[in-house]
Structure 1
Amino acid sequence: MEKVALWTGRVARLGLWTAGIGLVLMTALIAAQVFWRYILNDSIVWTEPASVMIMGWFIFLGAAVGIREGYHLSFDVVLYVLPHRIKMILFSISDIAVSLFGFGMVWFGWQLATKTAGNKLPSLGISGAFDFAPIVAGGVLIVLFSVERVFRRAAGMHTARFGSETENM
């Protein structure tokens, strides 16, 4: 299990770096567009759709990493008064629900991608499927990281890196 955790940790780190680079790249593209439009009185036609596509990548990659690290949205007031074993069961139920949501992202994102694969994005000249690729990739990572959290918990591996479930226990 530790080898799997190391591997998924590397995948998460790669996803986080990719998301960070995407955020910087999107910011640079928007800044270039503003400069070209308002200073040079011209326009770069591909920067807006490219920025939106990049934004999809960093949102879904960042969300998946947040799930792995336990930073996703939760309502845990009741958990402070429950016994440890019940907390672990509830965390596992939550992770299973999140993995089902991730599976839905993969399933429906793939359907959207296949339906738009024949369309060409005019300003970028690429398939419309690329608009939905971040949903599929993010969904795959969400499923992977959620399942990993369940297995790590079952193996008794809750560490500080593993998210909020070790706080105040």
Structure 2
Amino acid sequence: MIGRLADRAFSLAEWLLVLALGAMVIMVFGNVVLRYAFDSGITVSDELSRLLFVWLTFLGAVVVLRQGGHLGFDLVTNALPKAGRRVCRIVSDLLMLLCCGVFLWGAWAQAAMNMGNLAPVSGVPLGWTYAAAVVAGAGLGLVALADLAAALAGREPPARDMEGEAGA
């Protein structure tokens, strides 16, 4: 049940990434056409594109972590026996949780501090830009926590092919 809920949440996140990228392309391309063809433009498109880019980056990091697509170095751990790989995985997950906690704490403080600061053109609170880091810190922490629970239960991580996709 929780696995299906997580799959749906990540599917929604992927669609949000697609929509954000599409909106950015339309706004930036439209603005370029308006500036060169009509000597005008939509001033708010720059700020909104920047905001969407930040969200795209941070939310994308969470989705890629779940898919196992982040750059990794596993030469040493692959040479270890199964118990050694499990210990390294647990230590790695604990360190990731620590980093996510520090990151989340700082991002929360920045988001709260900047909610009163407004973007000059759109009027959007700048705290919404930092809120992307809050969502990413929580999401990355939840993915690491799920992997830690799987490692403690003795389950192997899903096999990955050369593209970083989960194997069957």
For 2:54, give the aligned amino acid. Answer: G
TM-score by structure 2 length? 0.87
Question: Among residues 119, 122, 125, which one is paired with 1:124 in the alignment?
Answer: 122
Query: Partner of 2:143 in structure 1?
Result: 145
Query: Partner of 1:78 in structure 2?
Result: 76
* 3-state SS of 1:20 partner: helix
Q: How much is the aligned-residue C-alpha RMSD, in angstroms?
A: 2.2
Shift of residue 99 of structure 1?
A: 2.2
Q: How many residues align?
A: 164
Query: Partner of 2:15 in structure 1?
Result: 17
Query: Partner of 2:57 in structure 1?
Result: 59
Cα distance in 2 between the residues matched to 1:51 and 1:9: 28
TM-score by structure 1 length? 0.86
* 3-state SS of 1:44 partner: coil
Query: Partner of 2:39 in structure 1?
Result: 41
For 1:39, give the aligned amino acid. Answer: A
* 3-state SS of 2:43 partner: coil
Question: CA 1:17 to 1:157, structure 2 compared with 1: closer, same or farther past 3 Å?
Answer: farther
Cα distance in 2 between the residues matched to 1:162 and 1:60: 22
Query: Partner of 1:100 in structure 2?
Result: 98
Cα distance in 1 between the residues matched to 2:83 and 2:8: 29
Unmatched tracts of structure 2, length 5 or more = none
Cα distance in 1 between the residues matched to 2:53 and 2:159: 26
Aligned residues with identical type, % of pairs: 25
The answer to whether the 8 Å contact 1:68/1:162 transfers is no
Query: Partner of 2:109 in structure 1?
Result: 111
Unmatched tracts of structure 1, length 5 or more = none
Point out which structure has higher relative CO (alpha carbons under 8 A, 6+ apart).
1
For 1:104, give the aligned amino acid. Answer: V
